[in-house]
């Protein structure tokens, strides 16, 4: 088998990187570049302009998602596949926003990687069942809840996701601290988070990317 599409592979674990590069090479894939951190991957994208890039989602220097975002900013036409061991909703949502072509879990068999590359190489998309499950069962329901918030509430929630205190938010928006606290109370009720302050804080942290996109 020979695949004429050029590939970049990036993973910060040398053994995993070598294993993937060797396996793809043995199957006839044309791996023209590899990287062990996000900065190397970004430079390789600019220099080699591969057709497809398979990126680990968490790497030193720049994450896979940051690499994709920066590449998109300069008009990079490479199609991206994220290979990850993480199922965090925020990461999944951010990846979806960036219009990636594929998202795979590292524990899946190599045949899934091959299938994904084949689909992406013809312009289609291919996502792990875990990815689709997170989107359907968690992200979409949270988005529906967020739509219930008023414009003012969304603004305040975004500022909270940026780690700003209620006092700082009140100062920047020229409103009273009591007003901010009232909005916070209303949001907790609409988002069905109960009255547990820890639950509210952990929810904001978990869905930070979702919130900042509002």
The reply to whether 118 and 190 lie within a common domain is no
The reply to whether 55 and 99 lie within a common domain is yes
Question: Could you tell me the maximum CA-CA distance found in the chain, to the nearest angstrom?
Answer: 67
Query: Per the structure block, which two tokens stand in for 40?
Result: 């190397």
The reply to whether 160 and 108 lie within a common domain is no
Dump pLDDT digits (tens) for 47-91: 989 999 999 888 889 988 889 989 988 888 899 998 887 666 666
Q: Is residue 117 part of a domain?
A: yes
Q: Is residue 105 within 8 Å of residue 132, measured between CB atoms?
A: no
Q: Is residue 206 part of a domain?
A: yes
The reply to whether 109 and 178 lie within a common domain is no
| Domain harbouring 14, CATH code | 3.40.50.2300
- Considering its fold, how many domains does the chain have in total? 2
Q: Is residue 53 within 8 Å of residue 7, measured between CB atoms?
A: yes
Dump pLDDT digits (tens) for 81-102: 988 876 666 666 777 777 788 8
Q: Is residue 141 part of a domain?
A: no
Q: Kindly state the percentage of the chain with pLDDT values over 90.
A: 31
Domain extent at residue 57: 3-136
The reply to whether 22 and 114 lie within a common domain is yes
How far apart CA 21 and CA 27 sit, in angstroms, is 10
């Amino acid at each position: 088998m020979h695949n004429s599409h050029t590939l970049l592979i990036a993973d910060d674990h040398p053994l995993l990187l070598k294993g993937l590069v060797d396996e793809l090479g043995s199957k006839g894939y044309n791996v023209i570049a590899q990287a062990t951190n996000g900065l190397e991957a970004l430079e390789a994208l600019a220099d080699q302009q591969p057709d497809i890039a398979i990126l680990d989602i968490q790497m030193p220097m720049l994450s896979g998602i940051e690499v994709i975002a920066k590449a998109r900013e300069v008009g990079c036409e490479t199609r991206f596949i994220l290979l990850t061991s993480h199922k965090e909703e925020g990461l999944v949502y951010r990846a979806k926003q960036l219009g990636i072509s594929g998202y795979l879990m590292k524990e899946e068999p190599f045949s899934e990687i091959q299938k994904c590359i084949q689909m992406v190489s013809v312009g289609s998309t291919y996502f792990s069942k875990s990815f689709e499950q997170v989107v359907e069962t968690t992200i979409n329901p949270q988005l529906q809840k967020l739509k219930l918030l008023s414009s003012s509430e969304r603004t305040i929630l975004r500022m909270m996701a940026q780690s700003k205190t209620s006092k700082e938010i009140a100062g920047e928006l020229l409103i009273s601290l009591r007003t901010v606290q009232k909005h916070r109370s209303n949001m907790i009720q609409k988002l069905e988070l109960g009255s547990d302050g820890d639950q509210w804080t952990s929810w904001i942290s978990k869905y930070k990317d979702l919130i900042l996109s509002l």
